[in-house]
Amino acid sequence: MEPGQKLPSTILVIFGITGDLSRRYLLPALAEICANTEIGKDFRVLGVSRRQVDLNNVLGAKEKNLKAYSQMLTMDLANRSDYQKLKDEIGALSQKFTQGPQVIFYLSVPPAAADGIVGLLGESGLSQPPAKLLLEKPFGYDLSSAQEMIGRIAKYFSQEQVYRIDHYLAKESAQNIAVFLGSNALFRNIWSNQFIDHIDIVAAEDIGIGGRKEFWEATGMLRDFVQSHLLQLAALTLMEPCSHMFDFAQLPERRLAALQKMKIAELKSAVRGQYRGYRQEVGNPNSAVDTFVSLTLDSSDSRWRGVPIRLTTGKKLDQKLTKIDIHFKKSQEAEANLLTLRLHPREGIELDLWVKEPGYRHNLQKQPLRFIYEQRFGRVPEAYEQVLIDAMRAKKSLFASSEEVLTSWKILQPVLDYWSMSDSDLKIYQPGSTIEEVLQQRAETKEPKTDN
The C-alpha atoms of residue 228 and residue 220 are separated, in whole angstroms, by: 12
DSSP letters, 307-357, are --EEEEEESSBSS-EEEEEEEE--SSTT---EEEEEEESS-EEEEEEEEEP
Going by C-alpha positions, the residue among 4, 48, 5, 10 that lies closest to residue 394 is 10
**By the 8 A CB rule, do 396 and 415 touch?**
no
The C-alpha atoms of residue 225 and residue 147 are separated, in whole angstroms, by: 19
Q: Is 229 a catalytic residue?
A: yes
Catalytic residue among 229, 244, 327, 362: 229
| Residue 175 region by backbone torsions, left for phi larger than 0, else alpha for psi between -120 and 50, else beta | alpha
Q: What SS3 class is residue 139?
A: coil
Q: What angle do CA 55, 59, 61 make, to 5 degrees?
A: 135
Contacting residues for 111 by C-beta, under 8 A, at least 6 apart: 138, 139, 140, 141, 149
Amino acid identity, residue 167? H
Beta bridge partners of residue 264, listed in sequence order: 297
Which residues are identified as catalytic?
Answer: 229
